[in-house]
Amino acid sequence: GAVVSQHPSWVICKSGTSVKIECRSLDFQATTMFWYRQFPKQSLMLMATSNEGSKATYEQGVEKDKFLINHASLTLSTLTVTSAHPEDSSFYICSASQFSNQPQHFGDGTRLSIL
């Protein structure tokens, strides 16, 4: 149980394009989803927290207009990297929890490479 699916697993695109990453909870309803960024050989950095039906809460230093988050249903959240540039290249990981006080379950991550 508690499976989180993230898609795509790997994406390569040209600078200036926008990239959408999907995060789905497959066997539970996720009231809260989290988006992380991980640089090589580093820990996870929380980017934002999203609740179904409301605006995402971004961590300090994360550009809201750059990283658009939508949590339209209890099983789906999306992260759109707008006008991506090489410095946006990273490993992006989502997680989901059924309730705010429950453990987070993680997707397998999306490796984004911007040329």
Partner 1 sequence: AQSVAQPEDQVNVAEGNPLTVKCTYSVSGNPYLFWYVQYPNRGLQFLLKYITGDNLVKGSYGFEAEFNKSQTSFHLKKPSALVSDSALYFCAVRRLSSGGYNKLIFGAGTRLAVHP
Please, are residues 113 and 85 in contact by the beta-carbon 8 Å criterion?
no
Residue 65 and residue 50 in contact, taking contact as beta carbons nearer than 8 Å:
no
9 vs 83 by CB, closer to partner 1: 9
Stretch that binds partner 1, among 11-19, 69-77, 78-86, 107-115 (CB under 8 A): 107-115
Distance of closest approach, residue 47 Cβ to partner 1, in angstroms:
12
- Per CB under 8 A, does 72 bind partner 1? no
CA atoms within 13 A of residue 99's CA, in its CB half-sphere:
2
Q: Residue 98: name the closest of 25, 19, 35, 48 by CA.
A: 25
Reported for 42-49, long-range contacts at CB under 8 A and 24+ positions apart, including other chains, are 44/93, 47/79
For residues 11-70, which are near partner 1 according to CB under 8 A?
32, 34, 42-44, 46, 49, 51, 57
- Contact residues for partner 1 (CB under 8 A)? 4, 6, 9, 32, 34, 42-44, 46, 49, 51, 57, 91, 93-95, 97, 100-109, 111
